């Protein structure tokens, strides 16, 4: 058997982080099994689906490195298939026309609420007589199609993540709508989610349905549809929800929901994919946390997906991102940083200054956690105005610092082309001359150059700054003030 899995996003918004994680799990499983990963865009909800969201979702999956083998298929182009299935269920007497008006359904729900009953359709049109049907038709009522759910049925499956699962038919909200009311003269309207999914999963020979646990109730309903349509029931695996650090479902309120939010915050795709796989999956060696998609694919099995909700941990994501940034060669990393520098308004020529930018990248890379950190980390090397933070200011106000700067400026005049060795030599000379500690000179120099006490390697930065022809008034100003 060839494993065939799918990701089935609805293009009603940008690529959601939960969908991205589900896509990662499906991709890993397909690759581990030597199977196929299929993309199906579930765009039957015309009022909410947009092409730009489809675009965003497909580009996002590609950006993460989740290459697919088949698709993208679009449900909107497969409507005939769903209509045939609805007709088949009607013909077999497994579905029927329900003529209830929205008002009647609302009254029914109100009454259920008043009786403290769970809301659901009470199957009142399941057994209409031909006369009743005729009356509703002549009244001009447009029916939805409902699929019969036997309330006494026990639906069970062996979930690959959650183990034995059982649902009672009576807990599924009554006979399920599978097609909307028709707009015009068609026998029935737009087929609905559960029906379309099952028709597609049968047609696409999906062997494993891996999706979020918010679909568990749908799975119970879908199993009944597989049976009714004569399809082979796939395996199901429900992955845990992504929770915020407080343990509630990650939502808009947490400020990040779409993959773009993470991208804009300066995370690289390798790190996001890596972090996504750890959201709910534990590697056989639980101490290992850094994996490329290919490395994880070698190890990924569904029995190591956890049942418990996966808490989002920003520190871990940051740490993983930094690991990838630190490993990246400056020649590659530089292209990821350039847009951040440009957005910050730093002046440079991406082509003409490339060598210099690469060197700068090499210097700041070890201090980057997110790409966006490059703006602050390289501030001193672009432009000339610096602002002092509290500690930087305190440092330059220390006794003896002005004299140290004056000595550095005198010494540097002898080095039109300062090498790292020259820079160290200057610091050594000044240390000796002023009879202070080397650390004090270094700290003061850093404060004078950057306004802060922390930052990338001082010697390397200083050398690079020198090469770009820095404005020595940086130290001069501090001397004069």
- Per the annotation, the verdict on 164 as an active-site residue is no
d(CA 18, CA 60): 13
> What counts of helices (H) and strands (E) characterise the chain?
20, 12
Which one of 2-10, 242-250, 392-400, 409-417 is the stretch in contact with ligand GLU (CB under 6 A)? Answer: 2-10
Which one of 3-11, 99-107, 281-289, 437-445 is the stretch in contact with ligand GLU (CB under 6 A)? Answer: 3-11
| Minimum CB–partner distance for residue 89 and ligand GLU (Å) | 19
Two tokens at 378?
Answer: 């390289």
Tell me the number of residues near ligand GLU by CB under 6 A.
Answer: 7
Which one of 7-15, 92-100, 180-188, 300-308 is the stretch in contact with ligand GLU (CB under 6 A)? Answer: 7-15
Instruction: Sketch the per residue contact string, 157 through 196, with ligand GLU: x for CB under 6 A, - otherwise.
Output: ----------------------------------------
| Minimum CB–partner distance for residue 195 and ligand GLU (Å) | 12
| Minimum CB–partner distance for residue 132 and ligand GLU (Å) | 35
Based on the shown chain and the rule CB under 6 A, indicate whether residue 9 belongs to the binding site for ligand GLU: yes
Q: Which of 211, 443, 466, 474 binds ligand GLU (CB under 6 A)?
A: 211
Instruction: Sketch the per residue contact string, 212 through 251, with ligand GLU: x for CB under 6 A, - otherwise.
Output: ---x------------------------------------
Residues 6+ away with beta carbon under 8 Å from 93: none
d(CA 79, CA 154): 31
Pairing of strands 154-159, 144-147: unpaired
Question: Rule CB under 6 A: which of 97-136 touch ligand GLU?
Answer: none
| Minimum CB–partner distance for residue 53 and ligand GLU (Å) | 11
| Angle subtended by helix axes 420-434 and 458-467, to nearest 10 | 110
Residue 137 CB neighbour total at 10 angstroms:
13
Q: Which of 15, 66, 176, 197 binds ligand GLU (CB under 6 A)?
A: 197
d(CA 163, CA 345): 55
Which one of 6-14, 66-74, 112-120, 423-431 is the stretch in contact with ligand GLU (CB under 6 A)? Answer: 6-14
| Minimum CB–partner distance for residue 177 and ligand GLU (Å) | 17
User: Nearer Cβ to ligand GLU, position 24 or 197?
Assistant: 197
Based on the shown chain and the rule CB under 6 A, indicate whether residue 42 belongs to the binding site for ligand GLU: yes
DSSP state of 302: G
| Minimum CB–partner distance for residue 349 and ligand GLU (Å) | 45
Residues 6+ away with beta carbon under 8 Å from 281: 25, 28, 296, 300, 304, 305, 306
DSSP assignment of 102-170 equals HHHHHHHHHHHHHTTPPP----TTTT--HHHHHHHHHHTPPPEEEE---TT-EEEEEETTTEEEEEEGG
For 84, half-sphere exposure in the C-beta direction (CA atoms, 13 angstrom radius) is 9
| Minimum CB–partner distance for residue 8 and ligand GLU (Å) | 4
Based on the shown chain and the rule CB under 6 A, indicate whether residue 451 belongs to the binding site for ligand GLU: no
Out of 36, 205, 252, 438, the active site residue is 252
d(CA 108, CA 101): 11
Catalytic annotation, residues: 252
Catalog residues that contact ligand GLU under the rule CB under 6 A.
Answer: 8-10, 42, 197, 211, 215
């Amino acid at each position: 058997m060839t494993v065939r899995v799918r990701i089935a996003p609805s293009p009603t918004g940008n690529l959601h982080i939960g969908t991205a994680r589900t896509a990662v799990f499906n991709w890993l499983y397909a690759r581990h099994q030597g199977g196929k990963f299929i993309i199906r865009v579930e765009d039957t909800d015309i009022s909410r689906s947009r092409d730009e969201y489809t675009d965003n979702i497909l580009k996002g999956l590609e950006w993460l490195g989740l290459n697919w083998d088949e698709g993208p298929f679009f449900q909107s182009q497969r409507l005939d298939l769903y209509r045939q299935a609805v007709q088949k269920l009607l013909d077999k007497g497994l579905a029927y026309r329900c003529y209830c008006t929205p008002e009647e359904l609302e009254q029914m729900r109100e009454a259920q609420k008043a009786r403290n009953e769970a809301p659901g359709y009470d199957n009142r049109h399941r057994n209409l007589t031909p006369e009743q049907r005729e009356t509703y038709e002549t009244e001009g009522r447009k029916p939805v199609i409902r699929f019969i759910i036997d309330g006494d049925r026990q639906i069970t499956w062996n979930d690959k993540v959650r183990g034995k699962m059982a649902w009672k038919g009576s807990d599924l909200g009554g006979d399920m709508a599978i097609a909307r009311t028709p707009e015009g003269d068609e026998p029935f309207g737009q087929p609905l989610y559960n029906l379309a999914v099952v028709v597609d999963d049968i047609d696409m020979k999906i062997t494993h349905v891996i999706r979020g646990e918010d679909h568990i109730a749908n799975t119970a309903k879908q199993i009944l549809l597989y049976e009714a349509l004569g399809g082979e029931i796939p395996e199901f695996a429900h992955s845990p929800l992504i929770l915020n650090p407080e343990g509630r479902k990650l939502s808009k309120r947490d400020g990040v929901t779409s993959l773009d939010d993470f991208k804009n915050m300066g995370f690289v795709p390798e790190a996001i994919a890596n972090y996504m796989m750890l959201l709910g999956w534990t590697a056989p060696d639980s101490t290992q946390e850094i994996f490329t998609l290919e490395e994880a694919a070698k190890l990924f099995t569904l029995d190591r997906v956890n049942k418990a909700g996966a808490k989002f941990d920003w520190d871990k994501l940051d740490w993983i991102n930094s690991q990838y940034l630190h490993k990246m060669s400056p020649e590659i990393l530089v292209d990821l940083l350039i847009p951040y520098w440009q957005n910050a308004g730093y002046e440079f020529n991406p082509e003409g200054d490339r060598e210099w930018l690469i060197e700068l990248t090499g210097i700041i890379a070890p201090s980057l956690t997110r790409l966006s950190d490059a703006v602050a980390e390289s501030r001193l090397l672009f432009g000339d105005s610096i602002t002092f933070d509290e500690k930087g200011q305190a440092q330059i106000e220390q006794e003896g610092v002005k004299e140290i700067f004056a000595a550095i400026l005198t010494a540097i005049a002898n080095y039109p082309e300062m090498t790292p060795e020259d820079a160290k030599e200057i610091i050594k000379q000044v240390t000796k001359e002023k009879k202070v500690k080397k650390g004090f000179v270094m700290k003061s120099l850093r404060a004078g150059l950057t306004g802060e006490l922390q930052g990338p390697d001082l010697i390397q930065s200083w050398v690079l700054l020198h090469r770009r022809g820095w404005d020595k008034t940086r130290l001069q100003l501090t001397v004069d003030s």
